[in-house]
Chain A
Amino acid sequence: MAQTKKKKNKFGISPSIILLNLMLVLIICTVCFFTYNIINSEDNVSSDPPFTAVTSAPHETTTDSSDTTKPESVPSSIVESTDNPIENTDSSSESTDNSGTSNENSLDFDKDYFDNSLFIGDSITTGLYLYGFLDESNVFAQQGLAPSTAMSADIDGVTIADKIASSKPEKIFVMLGTNSLGYGDTDAIAESMTEFINSIDELSTAKVYVLSIPPVTKEAEQSNENYLTNEIINDYNSQVKSGISQTNAIFLDFHSILIDSEGCFAEDYAEMDGIHFMGNTYKLMLSFLQKQTS
């Protein structure tokens, strides 16, 4: 009868119990191994280069390039990464074939497309390089610049004539007027703009594009801080459009894609002051310009 007893080791434990425990250890270790790898792969998605502006700050949510609706609402205190445009640029280069066929509110653009372009404007236009969407060499812009002062303006020792002569742009984009409209005569400012465009045209063989100036938000209009109203802006844009029709320049109505249902600057596109642009607004602008001019 002793022969029927199960075989035991010197501790008196049956092999089945040992096997069971070993299997348990094996299963647990396998689960640990895979969990460890999954966690590690997630952690290693973003690794910083040795010398860098480390980006752990609260960035804006990158609007997916396929998201062709208005950008999502953002708090007044927001950080917009300049890394994103580069990524968007890469992805946009693939989607430029869809020019003219996709939604007008696309944020896709190809930075390289603007390599031979020059943007002339005021503080709003400075954002193109402050955000890093374009190189500073592609922009001639300054806080406070107006149609009447642009020709004589000296930005870090460079005039617009110098800039055009040195960079020989193929396309010139001009967006000016916001700074003076609240304080001056709309007709006179629009006339200055036409004169400025004619001067630019004489200086360059580039194709000149004139952008309608952006609207202001309802809040900015009501605050009356800059005496800017959408009625004045609309009047100015109409006059500029009419004025430059006598020139070689082409009018591009960027204003119309920035407005909300009430004809004011859509809040999501506007900086805290209701006049300047958020980062996504520049993407929208460059995407619009690429489609309109390619």
Chain B
Amino acid sequence: MNKISKSIIAGILAASAALSLTACGNNTPASSTAESSAQGEQQTNAKSPAEITEKIMQDIEFPSMAEITSDRLANYYEIDAQTVDSFSAYICGSGAYPDEIAVFKLKSSGDAEAAKAALEKRVESQTKTFENYTPNEMYKIDGKNIVTNGSYIALIISADNKTATQLFEQMTK
């Protein structure tokens, strides 16, 4: 075997080493990609409730917001936790403003009506709290939106309910 053949075989060996590097490097992303695509098929292209609230709070001005954790969910929403797959909710933590953003992904779109009723109750409660306290802020509650899209439902009380609703609709397609 001549020198050229030797070089070729040595080159193949080196290439296999390089390939092994690529294989190692791609291990994690490859499995993540597989997971996300599997998840994607299940949820179409919809984003998670947390991603949706994050985007809305990035694009619209909100006061200081406090997160409603799952252990406090029942304090604010009379929603049946058994029907909720995941959620992300924020209220104004200082008590100064009525701003609120809550996005629920329900286990079934059939639970949307009951969830909507629960969110309407929340709006009633907030109206009572703020109508005499900060009349200047009532436009946020008056223009509130309880919007559903498939198994997603959101309560939006903000300075720009229209944009927030559009973002919700885009991200739950």
Verify B96–A272 contact, CB threshold 8 A. Answer: yes
Query: What total of chain B residues lie within 8 Å of the partner, measured CB to CB?
Result: 57
- Is B53 located at the chain interface by the 8 A CB criterion? yes
Across the interface, which residues of A come within 8 angstroms of B166, CB to CB? none
Q: Closest residue to A56 on the B side, CB-wise?
A: B50
Verify B28–A21 contact, CB threshold 8 A. Answer: no
> Interface 1/0s, chain B 126-155, versus A by CB < 8 A?
000110111000000000000000000000
- Not counting A57-B88, A279-B66, a sample of 13 additional A-B residue pairs whose C-beta atoms are within 8 angstroms of each other reads A12-B1, A21-B17, A25-B17, A53-B70, A54-B49, A77-B63, A79-B62, A79-B66, A80-B66, A124-B95, A136-B75, A143-B95, A276-B95
Residues of A that sit less than 8 Å from B by CB: 11-13, 17-18, 21, 24-25, 28-29, 32-33, 35-36, 39-40, 43, 49, 51-59, 74, 76-83, 123-127, 130-132, 136, 141-144, 271-273, 275-279
Instruction: Give residues of chain B (55-92) contacting chain A, Cβ–Cβ below 8 Å.
Output: 57-58, 60-70, 72-73, 75, 81, 84-92
Residue with the highest number of chain A CB atoms closer than 10 Å, among B51, B72, B134: B72
Verify B24–A32 contact, CB threshold 8 A. Answer: yes
Instruction: Give residues of chain B (1-51) contacting chain A, Cβ–Cβ below 8 Å.
Output: 1, 5-6, 9-10, 13-14, 16-17, 20-21, 24-25, 27-28, 48-51
Verify B58–A58 contact, CB threshold 8 A. Answer: yes
Across the interface, which residues of A come within 8 angstroms of B89, CB to CB? 53
20 A-B contact pairs sorted by A residue (CB < 8 Å): A11-B5, A13-B10, A21-B10, A32-B24, A35-B25, A53-B67, A53-B70, A53-B87, A55-B50, A55-B88, A56-B54, A57-B50, A78-B62, A78-B65, A79-B64, A80-B64, A143-B130, A271-B64, A276-B94, A276-B95
* Given A28-B20, A32-B24, A130 contacting B96 (CB threshold 8 A): no
Verify B94–A278 contact, CB threshold 8 A. Answer: yes
Verify B25–A56 contact, CB threshold 8 A. Answer: no
* Given A276-B95, A276-B96, A78 contacting B54 (CB threshold 8 A): no
Verify A58–B27 contact, CB threshold 8 A. Answer: no
Residue with the highest number of chain A CB atoms closer than 10 Å, among B21, B89, B94: B94
| Interface pairs A-B: 10 shortest CB-CB | A32-B24, A12-B1, A54-B50, A126-B95, A276-B94, A123-B95, A21-B13, A276-B96, A143-B133, A57-B54
Verify B17–A28 contact, CB threshold 8 A. Answer: yes
Residues of B that sit less than 8 Å from A by CB: 1, 5-6, 9-10, 13-14, 16-17, 20-21, 24-25, 27-28, 48-51, 53-54, 57-58, 60-70, 72-73, 75, 81, 84-97, 129-130, 132-134
- Measured CA separation A123–B130 after assembly (Å): 10
Minimum Cβ distance to chain A for residue B110 (Å): 19
